[in-house]
Amino acid sequence: MLWLIVTIFAIVSASDNNRIIGGKYANPGQFPHQVSLQLNGRHHCGGSLISETYIVTAAHCTINQSPNQMVVVVGTNDLKTAATRVQVSKFIIHPQYNPQSQDFDISLVMLNTPVTFGENIKAIEMADVDANHPADTLGTISGFGAINGNLELPNMLKYAQVQIWSRDYCNPKNIPGITDRMICAGHPSGQVSSCQGDSGGPLTVDNKLFGVVSWGFGCGSPGKPAMYTFVGGLRPWIKQVSNV
């Protein structure tokens, strides 16, 4: 079963209930580009600052939503603490976004007022148009999403490393519907993945925004990767809209 609103799925060891396998809690300022898109006061999706006024997220996070009901929280790893909250001016969804296939699943969020950069608030550099990484390259995912199969939201930012999967497996033959705008990543065992609450959040490689959390097959299903929108492939559109 596909999921569209995606989190780092952490598996708890039977021998040590306090140990989380596949994910760690982020330190303050560790991911200064990470934001929380909040709808009616609740965490809705993740996103990444690419400038003082623009955020990259997933199209399915903003479609059919009103900017007036969305607030962006920046500069924190704990949603229960005081943080900078910014109103949204508008959503700019990729014109070729397909809600059925999730192709071109990317959206820009324009803020009402620019954020002030500092130690805990910074923009992330995006991957180049021709960015490519060999199979098994490690990327980093981060988000405020669910931490277990019960979809419990921790309010704390978590992160984990995942492997980039090769096109030898991640192709339309093995995964119907995959396109050139999609990247596969995850742990073959299924112990590390994205899930409810992490949609729109970042997949970074070499400290650059390489992918945006898009869709997957449940949370951490063995042998099934999560899908990420390929940021490099959509850089011309991002540049045209945001001048970033």
Sorted by sequence, the CB contacts under 8 Å of residue 171 that are 6+ apart come out as 178
Catalytic residue among 105, 187, 193, 198: 105
DSSP secondary structure, 51-70, as one string:
SSSEEEE-HHHHTT--GGGE
How many whole angstroms from its chain centre is CA 38? 14
Q: Identify which of 196, 236, 223 has the alpha carbon closest to the alpha carbon of residue 42.
A: 196
Residue 194's identity, in one-letter code, is: S
Catalytic residue among 36, 142, 194, 199: 199
The C-alpha atoms of residue 205 and residue 20 are separated, in whole angstroms, by 23
For the question of residue 199 being annotated catalytic, the response is yes
CB-based burial of residue 70 (10 Å sphere; 0-12 exposed, 13-18 middle, 19+ buried)?
buried
For the question of residue 105 being annotated catalytic, the response is yes
The C-alpha atoms of residue 59 and residue 26 are separated, in whole angstroms, by 26
How many whole angstroms from its chain centre is CA 211? 7
Catalytic residue among 60, 107, 142, 187: 60
- β-bridge mates for residue 228, sequence order: 183, 213
DSSP-derived 3-state class of residue 32: coil
What is the distance between the terminal CA atoms of the chain, rounded to a whole angstrom? 36
**Hunting for tokens 């990470």 — which residue is that?**
34
> Hey, which residues are catalytic here?
60, 105, 199
